[in-house]
Amino acid sequence: MTKGTTSQGPRHLKAHTFCRRCGRRAFHRQKKECGACGFPRTTMRRYDGVNRKVRGRKGQGTGRMKYLKDVPRKFRNGFRCENVYLKALPEKKEKEKEKLTFRERLLEHEKKLENEKDKEKPKNNRIKR
C-alpha cells in the first residue's frame, strides 16, 4: 500500500470523541484525556501563548461562575451570614441600619453586653485604711 490516496480509505476509526466538560470533539478515546480542556483534570488546560480570541471564549466570566457571580453582592453586604448576634440586636431606625455594616453592628452589641455586665457587678465600697 502507498502513503497517498489508497491509505486514506480504510481510516474509519475515531481517535477523538466529544468531551463532557467543554463539548468539543477533542476527548482522546485511548488516552482518556481532552486535548482542548484537559478533562478529567480538575484544572482547565491553559497556556499563556494562546491568542485573544481563545481567551475570550474560555476565560473567566464565560462560563457559569457558580461562586464568583455572588461575590460582589456579598462584598457589598460585608460577607454577612445568618448569626445569633444579628438576631439578638435591638431594632434601630432603618437609615442607621443601612449605614452600619454587620461587623460594626456586632461590635456595638458586644459593647452593650459588656456595659450590662459591669452594671450587674456589685461595687466594693470599703474604705482602705
Is residue 85 included in any domain, yes or no? Answer: yes
The closest alpha carbon to 28, from 40, 43, 42, 17, belongs to 17
Residue 29, all three cell numbers: 478515546
pLDDT at 49: 77
Residue 36, all three cell numbers: 482542548
Banded model confidence at residue 99, pLDDT cuts 50, 70, 90: low
Place of cell 480570541: 53
Give the SS3 label for residue 20: coil
Considering 42, 63, 84, which residue would you say is the last residue of a domain? 63
122 has pLDDT over 70: no
Is residue 94 included in any domain, yes or no? Answer: yes
- pLDDT tens-digit series, residues 52-96: 888 788 788 888 999 999 999 989 888 877 665 555 556 655 555
Give the SS3 label for residue 44: coil
- Sign for the CA dihedral angle at 101, 102, 108, 112 comes to positive
